[in-house]
Structure 1
């Protein structure tokens, strides 16, 4: 069932979201300062490509204060807009009974879009 959900996800917009995150990550990696943010965009892209078999969890070790500072910068610069976009798409999909599994995937992306530093995909 998860494979079927991922295929439907890819056909109806998941691949477009994946491409947007990859292009944004490449654009961020052009500068030295943007490389950590580009890596986080790649992380979001991997989740957008195949979301039904992945979980988002905190890393086992404490990433430190640099991770907190980077999360604050990410949130101010663009993370809030990414999270709001996933929240709106999740709410729109959640209105229908058929769209609830895909809405859950968008809601999973909201948490990663808000604070991607110090988290990993499993």
Structure 2
């Protein structure tokens, strides 16, 4: 089921989001000072391609630099990207078939709002006691 949802997601939303995040990552790499944001953009782009079966967790070893970087990201880009995910999520939730995709957009809100100090892991690794059926 995850594969089917990911393929449909890729067609309707994932490819466009991944391309947008990848473009933002390239711009961040070109500016040199913003390379950490570029790395985060590429990580989010990969997550945006195939979100079902993965989840975002906080890195416990992230320090003060991640916090400061997240504040800068929030002011410059994070709020606008998050608003886009929320609006897309609401748009997908209008139909019953689109609800899983709307939820996937809502799942991307935390990582798009504050991407530094987070990592994307398979859901089974984040919740080891949970079995997928």
The answer to whether TM tops 0.5 is yes
Paired residue secondary structure (2:96): coil
Structure 1 residue runs of 5 or longer lacking an equivalent are none
Paired residue secondary structure (1:95): coil
Structure 2 residue runs of 5 or longer lacking an equivalent are 122-133
User: CA RMSD, aligned part only?
Assistant: 0.9
Deviation string for 1:62-104 (max 9, x for gaps)? Answer: x111111000000000000000000000011112111111011
| TM-score, length-scaled by structure 2 | 0.88
Aligned residues: 121
Please state how far the C-alpha of 1:13 moved relative to its aligned partner: 2.5
The residue number in structure 2 matching 1:104 is 103
Which structure's residues are more often helix, by fraction?
1
Distance 2:103 2:113 in 1: 16
| TM-score, length-scaled by structure 1 | 0.95
Distance 2:116 2:72 in 1: 11
After TM superposition, what 4+ stretches of structure 1 lie above 4 angstroms from structure 2? none
